Amino acid sequence: MASIPTLPSASLLTRPSGGRRLVLGSTSIYRRELLQRLRLPFDVAAPDVDETPQHGESPETLARRLGLAKARAVARLHPDAIVIGSDQVADLDGEPLGKPGDHARAVQQLRRMRGRTVIFQTAVSVVCAASAFEASDLASVKVRFRDLSDDEIEHYLQAEKPYDCAGSAKSEGLGISLLDAIDNDDPTALIGLPLIRTCRLLRAAGLVI
């Protein structure tokens, strides 16, 4: 994963249209690149959040809980800012699949998902402590994987090494070749941040987009 710049002091933070500072509470390079599409000045802060699933927690509940927890964690440190938090969990028959972290786990995930439909639950939350604003939304993306051979899985993983991606595939890259279909109403949700929903929440928080 690419390194993320540390958050500068409050006096140096930029202010988007609407008056308040905007902070992305995430270490994901993918979310940072997506948020840049909105052409709003923003800064990045790493949320200190334990991402361990709770016992019996569904993928949807886990994604919602972590997205909100990340936004709240950063908002406590920067109460005057509008903070975005997000989380994505792959849902295979109700079982949460997170980031594989290494090659062996990625192989296992893709073998389990081949020929199956996986729901990628992507939650986004916007929090501003100063204005007592807090709102969340969720995009559920249905992804049908092809019946992949072991050779196809190995070729893909060696080419793209998506070990920091939930579900072990990057749909915005070569990972699209692993799929039969994608069904969703927020095109960037599968990459990691549902921008349609994010814009809606930011407007509700007072930003002009």
Confidence of residue 19 (pLDDT cuts 50, 70, 90): confident
Where residue 94 sits, what CATH number does that domain have? 3.90.950.10
Task: Examine residue 2 and state whether it is found in any structural domain, yes or no.
Answer: no
- Selection from 55, 44, 41, 181 nearest residue 117 by Cα: 181
Task: Examine residue 160 and state whether it is found in any structural domain, yes or no.
Answer: yes
How confident is the model at residue 18, as a pLDDT? Answer: 55
Domain that includes residue 109, residue range: 15-205
pLDDT digits (tens, 9 = 90+) for 167-200: 999 999 999 999 999 999 999 999 999 999 999 9
Confidence of residue 209 (pLDDT cuts 50, 70, 90): confident
Token pair of 206 as six digits: 């007072």
How confident is the model at residue 207, as a pLDDT? Answer: 94
Single-letter code of the amino acid located at 73: A
Active site residue 180: no
pTM of the model as a whole:
0.87
pLDDT digits (tens, 9 = 90+) for 119-159: 999 999 999 999 999 999 999 999 999 999 999 999 999 99
Task: Examine residue 132 and state whether it is found in any structural domain, yes or no.
Answer: yes
- Mean per-residue pLDDT for 97-113? 95
CA 159, CA 174: separation in Å to the nearest integer? Answer: 8
Domains in the chain, number:
1
Please pick, among 43, 48, 80, 87, the residue that the annotation labels catalytic: 87
Task: Examine residue 57 and state whether it is found in any structural domain, yes or no.
Answer: yes
Strand 117-128 with 179-183, pairing: unpaired
Q: How distant, in Å, are the alpha carbons of 15, 136, 186 from that of 42?
A: 8, 19, 22
- Three-class DSSP category at 204: helix
Helical residues (DSSP H) of 127-194, grouped into ranges: 150-160
How confident is the model at residue 128, as a pLDDT? Answer: 98
Beta strands in the chain (DSSP E): 22-25, 43-45, 82-92, 95-97, 117-128, 133-145, 179-183
How confident is the model at residue 13, as a pLDDT? Answer: 46
How confident is the model at residue 48, as a pLDDT? Answer: 92
- Using a 10 angstrom Cβ sphere, with 0-12 exposed, 13-18 middle and 19 or more buried, the burial of residue 74 is buried
pLDDT at 8 over 80: no
Q: Beta partners for 175?
A: none
- Selection from 107, 78, 101 nearest residue 163 by Cα: 101
Contact between 188 and 2 under an 8 Å Cβ cutoff? The reply is no
pLDDT digits (tens, 9 = 90+) for 42-77: 999 999 999 999 999 999 999 999 999 999 999 999
Task: Examine residue 86 and state whether it is found in any structural domain, yes or no.
Answer: yes
Residue 119: partners with Cβ closer than 8 Å, 6 or more residues away? 59, 90, 91, 140, 141, 142, 143
